[in-house]
């Protein structure tokens, strides 16, 4: 887990983090009712919302078009770990559980092999 940083190098992430921090103020997190998608409208295509199903398990509740385009299909309802290879799933599950258990930021860098004839 990392501390909040104002610049990640990714515009969409920076916009979402800045919006979250502006809502949060000095509190641990903003109220759900305060979050308005218009506050991150330029990042919506690159964002997703997870729903916790069980410890370490979350499904994609809402997904921006970028994730669906990368996967070549609609991804709503899929478990997040479906996008990871088996050896990585434990690490992802552990990070998910920490984020869901307490207010936390998890930074996970993902890489993928480019397959011939597949979008990347």
The tokens describing 95, both together, are 């990070």
pLDDT at site 6: 47
Token match 């009712």: residue? 33
pLDDT at site 116: 61
pTM: 0.75
Element (H, E) at 61: strand 57-63
pLDDT at site 5: 47
Closest to 101 measured CA to CA, from 44, 64, 58: 58
Mean pLDDT by 10 residues, the chain (120 residues): 51 92 93 94 93 94 92 93 90 93 84 66
Cα–Cα distance measured from residue 58 to residue 40, given in angstroms and rounded to the nearest whole number: 22
pLDDT at site 4: 44
Other C-beta atoms lying within 10 Å of the C-beta of residue 109 = 4
């Amino acid at each position: 887990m990392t501390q909040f940083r104002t610049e990640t190098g990714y515009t969409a992430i920076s916009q979402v983090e800045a919006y979250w921090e502006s809502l949060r103020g000095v509190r641990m997190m903003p109220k759900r009712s305060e979050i308005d998608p218009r506050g991150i409208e330029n990042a919506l295509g690159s964002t997703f919302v997870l729903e916790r199903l069980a410890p370490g398990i979350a499904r994609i509740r809402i997904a921006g078009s970028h994730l669906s385009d990368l996967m070549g299909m609609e991804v709503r309802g899929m478990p997040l770990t479906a996008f990871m290879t088996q050896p990585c799933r434990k690490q992802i599950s552990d990070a998910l559980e920490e984020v869901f258990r307490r207010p936390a930021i998890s930074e996970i860098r993902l890489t993928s092999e480019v397959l011939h004839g597949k979008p990347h």
